[in-house]
Chains A and B, each alone.
Chain A
Amino acid sequence: MTIFSEEQAKAILDKALKASTADECTASLTGGNEGNVRYALNNVSTSGYVSDANLGVHVAFGKRTGTATTNSFDDKSIAAVVRRAEELARLAPENPEFMPAIDKQDYKPSRTYNEKTAGITPDYRAQVAADCIESCRKDKLVAAGFFTDSDEFSALANSKGNFGYQKSSDMNFTCTVRTGDGKGSGWVGRNLADVTKFDAKSDIQTAIRKARESVDAKALEPGKYTVVMEPAATAGLISFMMFGFDARSADEGRSFLSKKGGGNKLGEKMFDERVTIHADPWDEQAAVLPWDQEGLAREKTPIITKGKVDYLHYSRYWAAKQGKKAVGRPGNIIMLGGDKSTMDLVKSTKKGILVTRTWYIRMVDPQTVLLTGLTRDGTFYIENGEIKYPIKNFRFNESPAIMLNNIEEIGKPVRVQGDESPLTMMIPPMKIRDFTFSSLSDAV
């Protein structure tokens, strides 16, 4: 168990700061326990448990900086890691974009810790696997899934008197269910702050139903379709777009948020006016630490308000250069919506396609954030408000900047975890017109 209390963490960080002879010293201490269970072909394949903590020390002599880390916390190791950081700083060239250590920050605690989630046991994990496997075996289906949870802490301090400490916990579950003949595949994912709200036996039924109902999919012609996207289907596109919300790239002219002739599109209306996205470390359902990777305090930040670009991330260097205030980089994105469920959106659809999830999303053209990827594990044709039949998967070539201008209806946001994004997200199901599918995939 590598969880340090606030006092223990502070004592270690103080030792590091005291050991430093550099002009400035910043130290961070993070650690915790991460457990997981992985299963495939209706068998548990691996189960893991990693317990570790790391002390990172970042020092500066003038504009020369060095970083070193250690996972030993005796006095000798702490002194040694500071010395190594100082040695590296002396070897490093001056960084013309050097920024001094951050001033003392005012961190308002957020509810990132849930005792029940932090207390998940190996037995609980095994039971999640068993619940999925047994349900599938019984129905002659094949389960492959992954359940992971963490119990962590994060602490930081610097030579200017800044200090922060907070505990956090998390759980994430995904399971793919395939029919024995490989003709049908369904998926379910659940990312929650509070594990008591998780019910593997109930969730697995979603994947089971989709696996069964997706057998013998028909091929539709590629083209532009009205789509009902489940939250997991757009999370990857929206989080990809967020990489573009960087002020420097926009000002430098190499982002979809750059303006012709120079400058950026901050304040411009670029999306449907029903699109409102903000970041809020204190959000009840999607809380994140109240500081970012650099220790800068996060704030409740409007990102897109009624379709208008309301935020670009200014690094401390770029903020200073542009005369702006630097705030912590958002750790979550919360998209507002209504009360309707995905199935409510299906009911109001005359003709369209229901997309469970999207996969292997990559940038095709950063100029327009054109992304490509594929639908997967449950794609269905909708007619007159009903799911009519399964259809073959499609490849899409679509820009989220275009997609968020083609909104028909927005449902109720749910918490989701993207395959490749560090953000905690609240994303609603959405009905979108003219979504571009460019080719068919035979993959099930």
Chain B
Amino acid sequence: MDRRDFLKMTGAGLGGLAIPAFYGRAIAAEELLGTIDVATKKMLADAALNAAKAGGATYCDVRIGRYLRQFVVTREDKVQNVVNTESTGAGIRVIAKGAWGFAATNDLSREGVVKATAEAVAIAKANSRLRSEPVQLAPVKGVGEVAWRTPIVKNAMAVPIKDKVDLLLGVNAEAMKAGANFVNSTLFVVNEQKYFASTDGSYIDQDVHRIWAPMSVTVIDKATGKFRSRAGLSSPRGMGFEYLDAKPADHVELPCGAVVYRDSYDMKADAIAAAKQAKEKLAAPTVKPGKYDLVLDPSHTWLTIHESVGHPLELDRVLGYEANFAGTSFATIDKLKEHFQYGSDKVTIVADKTQPGSLGAVGYDDEGVKTQKWDLIKDGKLVNYQVIRDQAHILGLKASQGCCYADSWSSVQFQRMANVSLQPGRDKLAPAEMVKNVENGIYIVGEGSFSIDQQRYNAQFGGQMFYEIKNGKVTHPIEDVAYQIRTPEFWNSCVAVCDADDYRLGGSFFDGKGQPSQSSAVSHGSSTARFNGVNVINTARSLG
């Protein structure tokens, strides 16, 4: 996650004007339901495509975007901020003289779009002098006029602000009643209305929806000066407001007693549990450092997958395009060629831009490629990366895998992570069974602190709740746990993955990458998984 953007939005002490600039202009709630007429978008797109060709471009794509966002930020019995923003404009990308050029405008008149197109062509021509070889674009067949929409049941933008405020303040009240000293809860709703057109003959209209309802519950022991927080166990999802409908069938009680959620979220029940578990954390014994067998719940594992598999298998990182900031990757192309043993034979990890309910699901990516699902790691062996059109030839691929994304009409699209998920085990196995033969282990639920090096070898992860497992039984909560891994050793220590009945999605709403940084949203699924002999450290310190 891009911590700076998140802090900008939720940071304490923010004035009413503190809206992050990249979220565009703020608008009234009733404006959140409109869309731009498709015929208008096609007219503007054609104007740009024609202008690009006339200017000497060999390729052009146009993205006309309307990006709507709503945030409701609360603490205890107070609403701290309600913000609606809209950002509308067009981004035009061209290839001229073998080089990329890009320009964007918020002037959605025909003249405005044509002018930006001319700028993009001029930039491409200027850039061509600095390139050592021309851009090679993997072919895409035009799809004509098509549309795609996130399969939502209830458009969250249509739910009145009052209902959202009532929900969050109700959640906060439950947490306080259950013994919390403080609670922060937030609702983020995103709707990307994206129109894509290219000289390949595609006119793609997409309506993408996402939702996230994070919270944090804090308890304090004044006498000792100790405090502990427990974050909510919701997942950000590519869903509508139905995610907050709290269907009983989606409650999953784990062998450690914690309740986690499948495809809908009971925020109030989780707030009550969070207050109780935060109190347990205050009193829990501290972990003895050493090697443990870890049983990782999907609410935790998603972040480990994200950092140690998702990012290192982005081809732009592998090649060195992100070397100055996000870094490169240990999973170099020679390792792909030799089918490097990334994990044990229990580890099959797929990239999937089509998965229903996921953050990354779209019909077509931001360069008009139909989305798909493919293997990254098959039975433990590295078999593929994530690529976009101008990278496919480097791997000898004939087509892009559809991983291109821009976080705004005004940002240049580039390679971003697909949903990357650990596949469930083939044999029937439930978490309760998995725990039974763990002699000395730790059960970890929820994501916590995370940090990984610039080539994705050495990582450290915390969690929300930790439970000791002794001789096949979960005994009691423990605290101050973080585990450190070396990526290939960790995935090779995976000895079991539960079956598909246990499969759940987690994800990141704000994954940062690039310079200037862009934010994307991505899901990661898994079933509960066991990793043997992982190094656990104790994170307790004393300031004297």
A154 nearest CB across to chain B (Å): 11
**Chain B CB within 10 Å, residue with most, of A47, A56, A66, A443:** A443
B54 at the interface (CB under 8 A from A): no
With contacts A146-B515, A260-B224, A364-B449 taken as known, whether A45 is within 8 angstroms of B321 at the C-beta atoms is: yes
Q: Which B residues contact A (CB, under 8 angstroms)?
A: 3-4, 7, 12-19, 21, 24-29, 77-80, 82-85, 100, 102, 106, 123, 127, 130-132, 161-162, 165, 181-182, 218, 220, 222-227, 229, 319-325, 327-328, 330, 332, 410, 412, 449-458, 460, 462, 480, 482, 484, 486, 515-516, 535, 537, 539-543
Q: Which residues of A contact B515 (CB under 8 A)?
A: 36, 38, 146, 148
Chain A interface residue count, Cβ-Cβ cutoff 8 angstroms? 100
Q: Which residues of B contact A41 (CB under 8 A)?
A: 319-321
| A113-165 interface (Cβ within 8 A of B) | 126, 129, 142, 144-146, 148
Given contacts A96-B77, A253-B227, A258-B225, 19 further A-B contacts (CB under 8 A): A26-B17, A38-B515, A48-B516, A69-B25, A91-B161, A97-B80, A126-B130, A145-B324, A182-B328, A249-B12, A252-B182, A252-B220, A260-B224, A261-B225, A421-B4, A440-B458, A441-B458, A442-B486, A444-B455
Q: Roughly how many angstroms separate A44 CA and B324 CA in the complex, as a whole number?
A: 13
Q: Contact at B79–A92, with CB atoms within 8 Å?
A: yes
Q: Which residues of A contact B29 (CB under 8 A)?
A: 88, 91
Q: Roughly how many angstroms separate A40 CA and B79 CA in the complex, as a whole number?
A: 45
- Which A residue's beta carbon lies closest to that of B289? A438
Q: Roughly how many angstroms separate A48 CA and B517 CA in the complex, as a whole number?
A: 13
Q: With contacts defined as CB atoms under 8 Å apart, how many contacts are there between chain A and chain B in the complex? A: 245
5 smallest CB-CB distances across A and B, nearest first, come from A260-B225, A441-B458, A443-B455, A144-B323, A443-B453
Q: Which residues of A contact B540 (CB under 8 A)?
A: 365, 368
Q: Contact at A144–B451, with CB atoms within 8 Å?
A: no
Q: Roughly how many angstroms separate A366 CA and B230 CA in the complex, as a whole number?
A: 13
Q: Contact at A54–B320, with CB atoms within 8 Å?
A: no
A349 at the interface (CB under 8 A from B): no
B211 nearest CB across to chain A (Å): 20
B446 nearest CB across to chain A (Å): 15
Q: Which residues of A contact B131 (CB under 8 A)?
A: 43-44
Q: Which residues of A contact B542 (CB under 8 A)?
A: 368
A430 at the interface (CB under 8 A from B): no
A357 nearest CB across to chain B (Å): 10
Q: Roughly how many angstroms separate A360 CA and B28 CA in the complex, as a whole number?
A: 37
Q: Roughly how many angstroms separate A67 CA and B14 CA in the complex, as a whole number?
A: 12
Among the listed A67, A254, A366, A421, which residue makes an inter-chain contact with B17, where contact means beta carbons less than 8 Å apart?
Answer: A67
Among the listed A126, A293, A399, which residue makes an inter-chain contact with B541, where contact means beta carbons less than 8 Å apart?
Answer: A399
Q: Contact at B323–A176, with CB atoms within 8 Å?
A: yes
Q: Contact at A443–B130, with CB atoms within 8 Å?
A: no
| A367-391 interface (Cβ within 8 A of B) | 367-368, 370, 372-374, 376
Q: Roughly how many angstroms separate A66 CA and B162 CA in the complex, as a whole number?
A: 14
Q: Which residues of B contact A87 (CB under 8 A)?
A: 28
Among the listed A48, A50, A97, A293, which residue makes an inter-chain contact with B15, where contact means beta carbons less than 8 Å apart?
Answer: A293
- Which A residue's beta carbon lies closest to that of B169? A93
| A395-444 interface (Cβ within 8 A of B) | 395, 397, 399, 401-402, 419-422, 438-444
With contacts A71-B25, A261-B223 taken as known, whether A93 is within 8 angstroms of B130 at the C-beta atoms is: no
A341 at the interface (CB under 8 A from B): no
A27 nearest CB across to chain B (Å): 9
A117 nearest CB across to chain B (Å): 18
Q: Contact at B223–A442, with CB atoms within 8 Å?
A: no
Q: Roughly how many angstroms separate A44 CA and B126 CA in the complex, as a whole number?
A: 11
Q: Contact at B26–A68, with CB atoms within 8 Å?
A: yes
A347 nearest CB across to chain B (Å): 29
When each residue 54-81 of chain A gets 1 if its CB lies under 8 Å from chain B and 0 otherwise, what string results? 1010100000011111110000000001
Q: Which residues of A contact B14 (CB under 8 A)?
A: 293
**Chain B CB within 10 Å, residue with most, of A58, A295, A364, A442:** A364
A323 at the interface (CB under 8 A from B): no
- Which B residue's beta carbon lies closest to that of A395? B458
Q: Roughly how many angstroms separate A420 CA and B324 CA in the complex, as a whole number?
A: 15
Q: Which residues of A contact B17 (CB under 8 A)?
A: 26, 28, 56, 58, 67, 293-294
Q: Which residues of B contact A95 (CB under 8 A)?
A: 78-80
Q: Which residues of B contact A300 (CB under 8 A)?
A: none
**Chain B CB within 10 Å, residue with most, of A253, A329, A419:** A253
Q: Contact at B127–A44, with CB atoms within 8 Å?
A: yes
A275 at the interface (CB under 8 A from B): no
Q: Roughly how many angstroms separate A147 CA and B56 CA in the complex, as a whole number?
A: 30
**Chain B CB within 10 Å, residue with most, of A81, A84, A256:** A84
CB-defined A-B contacts under 8 Å, sample of 8: A44-B130, A46-B100, A52-B21, A65-B16, A249-B12, A253-B181, A360-B453, A365-B541
B451 nearest CB across to chain A (Å): 5
| A14-47 interface (Cβ within 8 A of B) | 26, 28, 36, 38, 40-47
Q: Contact at B28–A68, with CB atoms within 8 Å?
A: yes
- Which B residue's beta carbon lies closest to that of A440? B458
Q: Roughly how many angstroms separate A376 CA and B123 CA in the complex, as a whole number?
A: 34
Q: Which residues of A contact B321 (CB under 8 A)?
A: 40-41, 45, 144
A234 at the interface (CB under 8 A from B): no
Q: Roughly how many angstroms separate A419 CA and B486 CA in the complex, as a whole number?
A: 24
